[in-house]
Amino acid sequence: MSVRAPAPKTVDLGDPGTFADHDLDEFWRTLRDTAPVHWNPPADGRPGFWVVSRYDDIMAAYRDDEHFTSERGNVLVTLLGGGDAGAGRMLAVTDGHRHHELRKILQRVLSPRVLSDVAAAVRANTRQLIREAVDSGGCDFAEQIAGRIPMTTISNLLGVPERDRDYLLEQTKAALSADTEDVDEVDSEMARNEILLYFMDMVEERRETPGDDVISMLIASSIDGVPLSDEDIVLNCYSLIIGGDETSRLTMIDGVHTLAARPDQWRRLKHGEVAIDTAVDEVLRWASPTMHFGRTVVRETELHGVPLRPGEIVTLWHASGNRDERVFDRPGEYDLGRTPNKHLAFGYGPHFCLGSYLAKVEIAELLMALRDFTTGFEQTGEALRIRSNFLTGFSTLPVRFWPDDSGMKEVDR
Ligand code: HEM
């Protein structure tokens, strides 16, 4: 990646190429210091939008469902494209009473108590994958390990049969981010449709033969006495698979990429000098896999003297808020023992990530398996960066593992 530090006026945050081609640390610092509410002008036929970069302002906007709505989209691609087809039906882009009721339904399947079996399966799956990779010396961590943990977990929850998982993984990768420049917005749109059609078939199947899975539970659920429609169910399955796979996968890849380059932090983890849960939060803060979420102004308000008018798009940048020196001590330092660490990776307020517990379990199990089965690891080839204005991270990460013989011999706990 190039290390050019571009001037704020020349950076277009709507363009996925911006993130692939630039190191934006300096840009974000300049915005936080001099333009905390910055206008990203219209470009290439896309409308302009506000860019909020300070931690406290991001938190305040997330909390404020009086002036801001999620119902016209919550990421740039839908906000700039004129709205989200799932508005008012898919949890993340629904507000008010319906959001509250739908969230209660989905919370039932994503709460720590209900997820204990799922957490045990994550542990077994992760340890097996790491053991195999250590045995074989190395692998593409992105493809062979990170690609198989969140997808397996969320597929187990949704009852997606094993034979369909690779297909769904390919579609989710294409739906949100592009690994190469050949994948454009049309391909992404097609991938999103493929996922919706896939779940349409599954809902039909489950109506005939209910099982012990989230889809069957959603079929049996209603809001204000009205059962969820097939469309509602399909849209929320889509949101779980998209929300549950790519974000966790990119975080794991970033965790290994970053640790491979920082042997001092790896040693702290390996020797038990930092608590796993504390380390997980720093992995999340550092990766900030969702660079932004966004809202549309519904009632005029003001931020740092800048009027925000109804209909305008406001984007909230975790990529910046999680490095805000007003909140984090030495924000540019990777410190697995960092406390406090109230990062914004899962958002905040009424839409706070519903899968945060599951994501943390996945990352914790990865760190524990690495600690137990390896003495260390190194990156052995180039890590390929994804192209997206929403997600950040790598699609490939070749690594070599050095086995910890005593850990590998242990009977798995
Ligand atoms: C919402 C991030 C993993 C399901 C969110 C939001 C963020 C986020 C920032 C708030 C969006 C907004 O305010 O508009 C992440 C990150 C993850 C992760 C960084 C992994 C590292 C997961 C997983 C699942 C999931 C594993 C499901 C199994 C959801 C859902 C919402 C959500 C359903 C919508 C909640 C609502 O609108 O009430 N996520 N997420 N996420 N996430 Fe996650």
- CA of residue 248 to ligand 1 center, whole Å: 10
Atom of ligand 1 minimally distant from the CA of 94: 37
- CA of residue 354 to ligand 1 center, whole Å: 5
Question: Can you give the pLDDT at residue 187?
Answer: 84
- Ligand 1 contacts CB of residue 347 (under 6 A): yes
For 185-309, where are the alpha helices, taking DSSP H only?
A: 185-208, 214-219, 230-260, 263-270, 276-287
Question: Can you give the pLDDT at residue 183?
Answer: 61
C-beta of residue 5 within 8 angstroms of C-beta of residue 23: yes
Atom of ligand 1 minimally distant from the CA of 251: 21
What is the ipTM for the molecules in this complex?
Answer: 0.99
**Residue keyed to tokens 């906000």:** 79
Backbone angles phi, psi at 138, to 5 degrees: -175, 180
Please report which helix (H) or strand (E) contains residue 228, including its range. none
Nearest residue to 121 via CA among 154, 146, 143, 145: 154
Give the pair of three-digit tokens for residue 320.
């910046």
- CA of residue 271 to ligand 1 center, whole Å: 32
Residue nearest to atom 5 of ligand 1 (CA): 353
pLDDT tens digits for 238-253?
Answer: 999 888 899 999 999 9
List of long-range contacts for 43-47, beta carbons under 8 Å, 24+ apart: 43/12, 43/14, 43/15, 44/12, 44/14, 44/15, 46/14, 46/80, 47/80, 47/313
- Ligand 1 contacts CB of residue 235 (under 6 A): no
For 341: left if phi > 0, alpha if psi spans -120 to 50, otherwise beta; the answer is beta
Q: How far apart are CA 386 and CA 254, in angstroms?
A: 12
Give the DSSP letter of residue 376.
E
Question: Can you give the pLDDT at residue 5?
Answer: 54
Q: How far apart are CA 164 and CA 151, in angstroms?
A: 11
Give the total residue count for the chain: 413
- Ligand 1 contacts CB of residue 393 (under 6 A): no
Residue nearest to atom 43 of ligand 1 (CA): 353
**Residue keyed to tokens 């039932």:** 108
Give the predicted TM-score (pTM) of the model.
Answer: 0.95
Give the pair of three-digit tokens for residue 156.
């187990």
Burial string for 249-285 (b: 16+ CB within 10 Å, else e) reads bbbbbbbbbbbbeeeebbebbbeeebebebbbbbbbb
- Ligand 1 contacts CB of residue 353 (under 6 A): yes
- Best residue among 286, 318, 353 to mutate for probing ligand 1, ranked by most atoms within 8 Å of CB: 353
- Ligand 1 contacts CB of residue 392 (under 6 A): no
Within 10 A of 83 (CB to CB), how many other CB atoms are there?
A: 14
- Ligand 1 contacts CB of residue 289 (under 6 A): yes
pLDDT tens digits for 178-204?
Answer: 555 556 778 888 998 999 999 999 999
Mark the ranges of the chain whose per-residue pLDDT is less than 50: 1-4
Query: Is the omega angle on the peptide bond into residue 403 within 30 degrees of 0, that is, cis?
Result: no
Beta strands 394-396 and 384-385, pairing class? antiparallel
